[in-house]
Chain A
Amino acid sequence: MGFGPYFLLATLEGLVTAAVLALTALGLSLVFGVMRVVNVAHGEFYMLGAVLAWWFASLVSGNPALGFLLAVVLSPLVVAAVAFIADRLVLKRLNYEAEGTIVATIGLLYIIQQLALTFYGAEARPVQAPFDWRIQLPWFGYSAYKLFVIFASIAILIGTWFLLRRTNIGLIMRATQIDRDMAQAFAIPVGKVYAGVFALGAGMAALAAVLIVPIKQAHYLMGQDPLLLSFIVVIIGGLGSLRGTVVAALLIGLSDGIISMFFSPTLAKMLATLLVALVLVFRPQGLFSPGGVAAR
């Protein structure tokens, strides 16, 4: 295989990574943007989504598409419900104060992760893809499911954009983001909006996980890498910016595959993390937004 096809393959793989990453990071970004809460447990919502997907899929025998369909609908809903409860029981009582919520979400991280270890176990388990066609390119065959993941992610991103920019729900969310007190004064139920956004963010992470779980297996520690990568994406893209998040996810997803081809994955992760920490130190508004909100 020559360099061209090899590069195409790396790009396709990078696009799949970017597609899933964009969804996960967007969830984190929404929560930070609207609520000013840094959700350290975001990666665990992702993990929970994958683990539940395995469980739902295992309930249905026969056609794998049915199991996948069940997972894709129910898993994000359950995860969103868990997040909703966590918001009502914990975050709301802390009045969304920055340091308290970080400590609390660290606690949440351990609780979800350790409960998954208790009930799901330490094994990695696969979920069968809903279909296993291959698309035969002139140089290699490529899984149609992976292409489906890319397009599904694009569709969901467009849907989210529509929700935020063209609907009443989005208007209310943006109003809360811009000025919480003023929104409250205009009779927007800010508490409900917060709980809803927290659930939505967690649900997006879970949805991303359901999409990836036929490609990567479900494991109770699988939330760590997406958490770190989502942080990286959200920081480079500018905290709370939708367009920046998508651009940064593409950048990170594509370069992740290509850099890992040339360097050791550990070194790649090391350099990426260092770079992002420096971005946060010297350009807290992110690389793409000219004068966004500084990270406070």
Chain B
Amino acid sequence: MSGSDTTRTILLHGALLAGLAALDFVLPDYHHGVLARVMVLSVFAMGYNIAFGYTGLLSLGHAMFFAAGLYGAALPIYHLGWSVWPSLGAGLLAGLVLAVIVACLALRTLGVAFMIVTLMFSQVFYLTTLYFTTYTRGEEGLVLQQGMRTLALPGGHISLANADVRFWAAWTLFSLTLVITLFLVRSRFGRALVAIRENEERMRMLGYDVFASKLAAMAVSGTISAAAGAAYAVLFGYAGSGFASIQYSILPLLWVLLGGAATVLGPFVGTLIMFYLIDTASSYTTPHMLVVGVALILLILYFPKGIVGTIRAKWLRWLP
């Protein structure tokens, strides 16, 4: 990778982050809130992209990692009265542990079987959240009150329920994940993942430990997804079983497909567009999930590279 590409990459992503930061001051209330949510959800999509886009592991169960982070953070806050920082840590840890266990089992399978196994594990997780309704309150969910969501910082305590704080917290998490992803995919490890996606046999023959690389990819992917879940719980103060349902495994797939699989910016672009599409559709009709179905089929048929992927293929070859 040449020096000028690195400069351009840094400039582009820096400009995006600066632009998002500037939007904090100009956006009207509603879109301000939406953007905060989209930034958190696109962290989830970026996590998914590591497994699906870069490593070629089409998981249909990432809702369980998001939900592991969500409950890992929300349950200690709600039931044990933990403060925000250790709860976030608990959420991340829950996602990491779950991702390693699931990956150890699911990576024994390939292709279609991998999709079904991840789908089923995720379904088990979803049913578990329903079964322990006493603690999770099932579909109704836990609502974290404002008082439970104060973040201790060196300068004092701030409330995450405040819209501006929430925006900056989401922006910080988003920026961190973007930078981490950027480093990861440009590292030797990231390129090894892409090579495994393209030709697993050859990588094995070259002496790479394919299983270990895939396991690491799933662990990173699951942990980032869990980070999004944990952040969602503390920023928006809600954790419900719905986030563990199949729909939340399908959505990141859709976001990444729309934005462009195996592109760093694709997950954000896809999440942003899809969020507004569903939002607009639901203001017209009740069956707004129709949009999701139609989008999935159109994307897979006519636009498999997604938006950023197409831009990269046609114009900007250097895009990471």
Contacts and interface: CB of A to CB of B under 8 A. Distances in A.
Q: Do A and B bind each other?
A: yes
Interface of A: 36, 38, 90, 93-94, 98-100, 102-104, 106-115, 117-118, 228, 231, 235, 264, 266-267, 269-270, 273-274, 276-278, 280-282, 284, 295-296
A114 B110 CA distance: 31
A115 B287 contact: yes
Contact of A110 (B130, B131, B290): B290
Contact of B131 (A98, A118, A267, A295): A267
Contacts of B124: 270, 273-274, 277
A284 B113 CA distance: 8
Contact of B121 (A98, A266, A277): A277
B274 interface: no
Nearest to A101: B300
A103 B131 CA distance: 29
B296 A277 contact: no
B117 interface: yes
A111 B290 CA distance: 5
Interface in B281-302: 285-290, 292-297, 299-301
Given A273-B120, A277-B121, A295 B113 contact: yes
Contact of A296 (B110, B289, B290, B292): B110
Nearest to A231: B116
B52 to A, nearest CB: 9
Interface in B242-285: 250, 253, 257, 285
* Chain A at the B interface: SS class: helix
Interface string B57-78: 0101000000000000000000
6 contacts: A99-B58, A104-B297, A111-B290, A118-B286, A274-B120, A295-B113
Closest 4 CB pairs of A and B: A110-B293, A107-B296, A114-B287, A111-B293
A278 B124 CA distance: 12
A112 B288 CA distance: 13
A162 B112 CA distance: 30
A281 B105 contact: yes
B109 interface: yes
A103 B257 contact: yes
Taking each of A99, A103, A109, A115, which has the highest tally of chain B beta carbons within 10 Å of its own beta carbon?
Answer: A103
A108 B293 contact: yes
Contacts of A108: 293, 297
A270 B116 contact: no
A109 B257 CA distance: 18
B293 A278 contact: no
Interface in B87-146: 105-106, 108-113, 115-117, 120-121, 123-124, 127-128, 130-131
A9 B111 CA distance: 42
Given A280-B117, A281-B106, A90 B301 contact: yes
Nearest to B56: A99
Contacts of B109: 280-281, 284, 295
Contacts of A111: 290, 293-294, 297
A262 to B, nearest CB: 15
A113 B289 contact: yes
B115 A269 contact: no
Contacts of B295: 107
A115 B286 CA distance: 11
Contacts of A93: 301
A136 B286 CA distance: 47
B296 A104 contact: yes
Nearest to A32: B112
Given A231-B116, A280-B120, 6 more contacts: A106-B296, A114-B288, A235-B116, A273-B123, A277-B120, A296-B110
A220 to B, nearest CB: 9
Nearest to A112: B293
A266 B131 CA distance: 6
Contacts of B289: 110, 113-114
B285 to A, nearest CB: 7
B131 to A, nearest CB: 5
B128 A90 contact: no
A94 B257 CA distance: 15
Contact of A264 (B106, B113, B131): B131
B112 A102 contact: yes
Contacts of A113: 289, 293
A113 B250 CA distance: 15
Contacts of A115: 287, 290
Interface in B17-53: none
Contacts of A98: 111-112
Contacts of B116: 38, 231, 235, 277, 280, 295
Contacts of A106: 250, 253, 293, 296
B148 to A, nearest CB: 28
A107 B117 contact: no
A231 B120 CA distance: 10
B251 to A, nearest CB: 11
B123 to A, nearest CB: 5
